[in-house]
Amino acid sequence: MRSVIYSKPGPSSVLQLTEREPAAPGPDEVRVRVAVSGVNPTDWKARAGNRPLELDEVVPNQDGAGVIDAVGADVDDLQVGDRVWVFLAAHQRPTGTAQEFTVLPASRVVPLPDDIGFDVAASLGVPAMTAHRALTVHELGPAHLSPGSLDGRVVLVQGGAGAVGHAAIQLARWAGATVIATVSSDEKAALASAAGADHVLQYPDGALASKVRSIAPNGVDQIVEVALAQNAALDAEVLANHGSIAYYANNNGDEFTAPIMASFAKNARWQGVLLYTVGQEALAAAAHDISAALEAGALPVGEDAGLPLTWFGLEDTAAAHDAVEAGVTGKVLIRIADDLR
């Protein structure tokens, strides 16, 4: 099989396309023939990291979609031929999705409805599960998302044109929230609107807080935050009592300062979100709810749905990583098997 590997950390040039034998799944594992691999910022950051590799070689990319072609012992709820989407394929394992076949725990493999394309499925994983977690950390719940579970809530999505922001808009709207999104340009405003945001505001804007409060006079209940170092003061200003600020990235700075009075007076919850350490219960909840949203048609992708797709071939995985590192708008996908549908 064709497989992209790297044996030392570094720039995208360390990625090499090679031929390897497909591995056989062990107990509680399945092997997936990959149709589409999704690329996230975490993928190029892991590859570029300064720490020595714990393994001789690594296949990058956490997310993907395809068809199960082999099942290990003790796997009862997945079968050969099942269409699936996968998440955390390369977490503490060498078997990411930038290859034709990948073996991973059955717990990281989720059945995919027949009418959902592999482009949608490979765009889930890290972005959608991060967004789900960010929307389920509020002091008053819910722990699961479903239609009506966020009725009456106002959600502010900072950076609504990114992959996580896009998923957060879609999931929050599906769950019944009113969504305010912030973006940095007219082009991105159109994408956030296409994703379903009820209100879209642009930054930088010295009046941004007052504009948010004009939409939500009692404050916003939940904030999905991509740039906490930049936005902490604004977040505290517009937050409702008992509101949550779920931050999942360190865009524009590695440290933040929050106003103490505004925070404790509102019983604010500052909640970090990292998928790799969030725990199995939260991952299972996200997989369950995302599957329900998929079946409801709530998570489309493509420019018309607010998430442009940029495609590469497996042999161009390095270029795909470079595109994500350069901040291309939308989702970067790698097409691996043209014959799978």
The highest-level CATH class for domain 128-276 is: alpha beta
C-alpha atoms less than 13 angstroms from C-alpha of 265 in its C-beta half-sphere: 9
Report cis status (omega within 30 of 0) of the bond before 142. yes
CATH fold match for the domains 2-123+307-335 and 128-276: yes
Q: How confident is the model at residue 51 (pLDDT cuts 50, 70, 90)?
A: low
- Evaluate whether 32 touches 64 at the Cβ level (below 8 Å): yes
- Res 78 pLDDT > 90: yes
159 pLDDT higher than 80: yes
> At 50, is the pLDDT very low, low, confident or very high (cuts 50, 70, 90)?
low
Average per-residue pLDDT for the chain: 96
- The rounded distance, in Å, linking the Cα atoms of 11 and 49 is 9
Task: For the chain, give every domain's residue range.
Answer: 2-123+307-335, 128-276
DSSP helix, strand, coil percent of the chain (3-state; round to 5)? 30, 25, 40
One-letter amino acid at 208 equals L
Q: What is the mean pLDDT of residues 286-298?
A: 97
- Given pLDDT bands bounded at 50, 70 and 90, which one contains residue 176? very high
% pLDDT > 90, the chain: 93
Predicted TM-score (pTM) of the model is 0.96
Q: What is the pLDDT of residues 304-330, one digit of tens each?
A: 999 999 999 999 999 999 999 999 999
> Which amino acid is located at 140 in the chain?
L
Assess whether pLDDT exceeds 70 at residue 162: yes
Whether the predicted pLDDT of 157 surpasses 90: yes
Look at residue 340 and tell me whether its pLDDT is greater than 80: no
For the 2-123+307-335 domain, the top CATH level (class) is alpha beta
> With pLDDT > 70 as the criterion, what percentage of the chain qualifies?
98
Question: How many CB atoms are located within 10 Å of the residue 185 CB?
Answer: 12
Burial (CB count within 10 angstroms: exposed 0-12, middle 13-18, buried 19+), residue 127 = buried
Residues 166-170, mean pLDDT to the nearest whole number: 98
